[in-house]
Amino acid sequence: MPPGLTTDFSSDPAPGPLAGKHLVLGLSGGIACYKSAELCRALIKSGATVQVVMTEAAAQFITPVTMQALSGRPVYTSQWDGREANNMPHINLSRQADAILVAPCSADFLAKLLHGAADELLSLMCLARPIESTPLLLAPAMNREMLAHPATQRNLAQLTADGACVLGVGSGYQACGETGDGRMLEPDELLEEVIAFFTPKVLQGQHVLVTAGPTYEAIDPVRGITNLSSGKMGFAVARAARQAGAEVTLVAGPVSLPTPRGVVRLDVRSAEQMWQAVQPLAQQASIFIATAAVADWRVADAAAQKIKKDGSGAAPVLQFVENTDILASVADSPRARSGQLFCVGFAAESHDLQAHAEAKRLRKKVPLLVGNIGPATFGRDDNALLLVDAQGCHPLPRASKQTLAGQLVASIAQRMKN
């Protein structure tokens, strides 16, 4: 490596994805208000500042004291709040915000917004906001029948046409005892949506195919060969690509990670299954990011039954065959060679990162190779990356894998533009 370049690439912690953003978090009446407490905390941990505004109905489900403690700011509940010198909190608070997020947004509040009703502070603020500079994000929450009602569906459609961003709903058990659509999205899902809303859409119109995690090569029904990849980096890349506006398909090896919101996921187990899944998908993708730690070899003939010890002390003899090199095969396809498919490889090394990464990039014939030291990152939430292309090596200092994924996506977008 060049002088001064280490595998840690240490730097100060990166700011959160919402750093510098000031959000008004509006709560209308509904049992989902209990989720708003965790959402408020999540937004702040991601770097945002949060001003909570509650309707009188919301205060029946969660207290302003709770939201004040979590946001670190006094909560506004009345348009007549005397703390504002001009007695215009609906003007002042909306002008200070980068966005207004109403979560939960009840069926009643949706109807208010549609008709421009403004009989309390939150609806008044939504009506008085500068539409061009203060976007409105809505997280509906209601009973399944209320959501399905034609009036609600008309309201949602018209609010979307009017420029509001409706974040969708979850499905499952509801407080009333029924099951179906209408639950407010979980706090982590809403956080993803808010981050995606503010993320520059540098991959808009692109179809990104990502592989992630390890593969598992069976020896017999109860034993196999795998590696220490957790899949966290690949899942972070898939999430970052979707937040950047891409359509994303994720082919995942055997990992226990939640699917990033808005990402289509296919689960596979072995290297051969991953290859079979990737082949047709690569025909539709414009970017292929191979983060998966794919096994180089598999057992030629996996035993149908568990291999038993025979008391001799002799270990069974296993014959191996080489798996298809997924990255090299895709990079050598006609679409990749013609420039229709931009291929990015990953190299998890144990030593001599730069030398191995440079050699692998040339061997795989990819325009960009991302290297890291595997033992220093497997299973962790942070990493340090080395981007290797035809112009040389570009270190990305240690940061959270999600932060690095965003930087990698931005780098890919810039390379495709050039």
Residue with tokens 């509904």: 30
pLDDT tens figures, 237-265: 999 999 999 999 999 999 999 999 999 99
User: Do 225 and 148 sit in the same domain of this protein?
Assistant: no
Say yes or no to pLDDT of 319 above 80.
yes
User: Do 231 and 156 sit in the same domain of this protein?
Assistant: no
User: Do 342 and 388 sit in the same domain of this protein?
Assistant: yes
Q: What is the mean pLDDT of residues 226-246?
A: 96
Q: Are 41 and 33 in contact (CB under 8 A)?
A: no
Residue 14 lies in a domain: no
User: Do 281 and 405 sit in the same domain of this protein?
Assistant: yes
Residue at a domain's end among 198, 222, 252: 198
| pLDDT > 70: percent of the chain | 97
Q: Are 321 and 271 in contact (CB under 8 A)?
A: no
- Residues 254 and 344: their CA atoms lie apart, in Å, by 22
When computed from its CA atoms, the radius of gyration of the chain, rounded to whole angstroms, is 25
Q: What is the mean pLDDT of residues 151-175?
A: 95
User: Do 350 and 327 sit in the same domain of this protein?
Assistant: yes
User: Do 235 and 368 sit in the same domain of this protein?
Assistant: yes
pLDDT attached to residue 257: 96
Say yes or no to pLDDT of 11 above 70.
no
pLDDT tens figures, 67-80: 999 999 999 999 99
Q: Are 409 and 241 in contact (CB under 8 A)?
A: yes
Residue 17 lies in a domain: no
What band does 4 get if pLDDT is binned at 50, 70 and 90? very low
Say yes or no to pLDDT of 55 above 60.
yes
Residue 309 lies in a domain: no
User: Do 140 and 215 sit in the same domain of this protein?
Assistant: no
Residue 160 lies in a domain: yes
Active site residue 343: no
- Residues 56 and 210: their CA atoms lie apart, in Å, by 46
What band does 34 get if pLDDT is binned at 50, 70 and 90? very high
Tokens representing residue 310 in the block? 């025979």
User: Do 194 and 214 sit in the same domain of this protein?
Assistant: no
Residue at a domain's end among 175, 198, 221: 198
% helix / strand / coil in the chain, to the nearest 5?
Answer: 35, 25, 40
pLDDT tens figures, 360-379: 999 999 999 999 887 788 88
What band does 13 get if pLDDT is binned at 50, 70 and 90? low
- Which residue in the list 40, 126, 165, 176 is annotated as catalytic? 176
What band does 163 get if pLDDT is binned at 50, 70 and 90? very high
Say yes or no to pLDDT of 7 above 80.
no
Runs of H (alpha helix) within 64-120:
64-71, 89-96, 107-115
User: Do 284 and 369 sit in the same domain of this protein?
Assistant: yes
Say yes or no to pLDDT of 327 above 80.
yes
pLDDT tens figures, 212-225: 999 999 999 999 99
User: Do 87 and 117 sit in the same domain of this protein?
Assistant: yes
Residue 10 lies in a domain: no
**At CA 362, angle to CA 357 and CA 366, rounded to 5?**
90
User: Do 402 and 253 sit in the same domain of this protein?
Assistant: yes
Closest CA relative to residue 53, chosen from 4, 137, 122: 122
Residue with tokens 């408020």: 40
Q: Are 383 and 370 in contact (CB under 8 A)?
A: no
Q: Are 105 and 165 in contact (CB under 8 A)?
A: no
Residue 307 lies in a domain: no
For residue 213, the enclosing domain spans: 207-296+320-417
User: Do 68 and 104 sit in the same domain of this protein?
Assistant: yes
Q: Exposed (0-12), middle (13-18) or buried (19+): which is 57, by Cβ within 10 Å?
A: middle
In sign, the C-alpha dihedral spanning 219, 220, 225, 229 is positive
Residue 6 lies in a domain: no
Residue at a domain's end among 179, 198, 217: 198
Task: Output the domain CATH number for residue 119.
Answer: 3.40.50.1950
What band does 8 get if pLDDT is binned at 50, 70 and 90? low
Q: What is the total count of domains within the chain? A: 2
Q: What is the mean pLDDT of residues 2-28?
A: 71
Task: Output the domain CATH number for residue 269.
Answer: 3.40.50.10300
Residue 180 lies in a domain: yes
Say yes or no to pLDDT of 5 above 70.
no
